[in-house]
Structure 1
């Protein structure tokens, strides 16, 4: 018998690769060698499965974020870099249709994703940058709130705009342009970390 965790893992993999709208419950059942009825024993409908799958993926990322902050908390700028580096690893495997499908077909999952992005940028990243500014690692005249809104909020929308930038440029180049170069512009002259070489 399949477990709920196994079903969620399969759903996450399929939804992020092919888009949640394009993967049917029959596809998942066939992939797992189960009946569609088994899926319904865990979830009321496909939207609940999509939402639970996304929640599972976001919880995994939150755990990564908490680990990054607890391991590197003395250097809040490095924390932001590592958080976005890990985020780029997640986004690299997303097809744009996955995120667009959430917006169009699955309002509960879309709300969950939007709340996560809001929390990540406007709380976690903002607080890390503010801490960095308080300890002198970021120039005192920098408006942290504005930097977060311009460069660190909804990076997914920029990466997946018309073309999937992951298909056009190497992940490392995108990461440098979206994260490293923007942070380099706001740090104080005496701040350094190995990502700036």
Structure 2
């Protein structure tokens, strides 16, 4: 792996663990065992590094989600739970603090990432709904575009720590609760059986 890629990997790990604002270029250089001057030969400033790591993270997670969503070994309901587990692993439990820092201190980068994620998830959930309809797991009277967009709005909404403080709503359980809330509104009786099995397994 080239030096620039290693910097990207290590700095992203630090940003997700401690926040985009909190981590300094000095700390990244020390972690990499290099001088700050060497670091700046690859990324001219912290804003550039934050943008590069954020977009890299976005592309990586979207690729992983797409791989899950296009695997026909699972049904669409199972896909959503598998996607949730994957994203939580990749984003270190989806601690919202780094994303809040990105939005506050690097708003232009946050806008780019948010737009990219929205476009991807809108298409991904739309396809999930289509598969659910084809398999008779989702109700045939739902509006696919509406469901896809409401899913995205809900996912963004539960990240608001002022509404869902972690001490009251642990992240992993919160996402499970949201998925169940989302799915119970659109499943058929056949889909409900699958959902009941999954939620029972998650509660055990």
Paired with 1:4 and 1:164, the residues of 2 have a C-alpha distance of 37
Which has the larger displacement, 120-129 or 102-111? 102-111
Whether the 8 Å contact between 1:88 and 1:175 is mirrored in structure 2 is: no
1:81-123 Cα distance to aligned partner (Å, 9 max, x none): 3222322334454443321222222234212321232123311
Q: TM-score, normalised by structure 1?
A: 0.84
Q: TM-score, normalised by structure 2?
A: 0.81
Matched residue of 2:142: which SS?
coil
Paired with 2:33 and 2:171, the residues of 1 have a C-alpha distance of 35
Which has the larger displacement, 93-102 or 47-56? 93-102
Identify if the C-alpha distance between structure 1 residues 173 and 17 changes in structure 2 by more than 3 Å, giving closer, same or farther. same
Structure 1: segments with no counterpart, 5+ residues: none
Paired with 1:146 and 1:45, the residues of 2 have a C-alpha distance of 41
Which has the larger displacement, 48-57 or 159-168? 159-168
Q: Residue in 2 aligned with 1:144?
A: 144
Q: Displacement, 1:138? A: 0.6
Q: In the alignment, does 2:72 pair up with 1:72?
A: yes
Q: Residue in 2 aligned with 1:10?
A: 10
Identify if the C-alpha distance between structure 1 residues 185 and 161 changes in structure 2 by more than 3 Å, giving closer, same or farther. same
Which has the larger displacement, 80-89 or 163-172? 163-172
Whether the 8 Å contact between 2:93 and 2:171 is mirrored in structure 1 is: no
Structure 2: segments with no counterpart, 5+ residues: none
Paired with 2:168 and 2:159, the residues of 1 have a C-alpha distance of 10
Whether the 8 Å contact between 2:16 and 2:92 is mirrored in structure 1 is: no
Question: For the aligned residues, what is the CA RMSD?
Answer: 2.6
Q: Residue in 2 aligned with 1:63?
A: 63
Q: Displacement, 1:131? A: 2.8
Identify if the C-alpha distance between structure 1 residues 81 and 14 changes in structure 2 by more than 3 Å, giving closer, same or farther. same
Whether the 8 Å contact between 1:72 and 1:79 is mirrored in structure 2 is: no
Q: Displacement, 1:53? A: 0.8
Which has the larger displacement, 159-168 or 131-140? 159-168
Identify if the C-alpha distance between structure 1 residues 91 and 2 changes in structure 2 by more than 3 Å, giving closer, same or farther. closer
Q: Displacement, 1:132? A: 1.4
Q: In the alignment, does 2:125 pair up with 1:122?
A: no
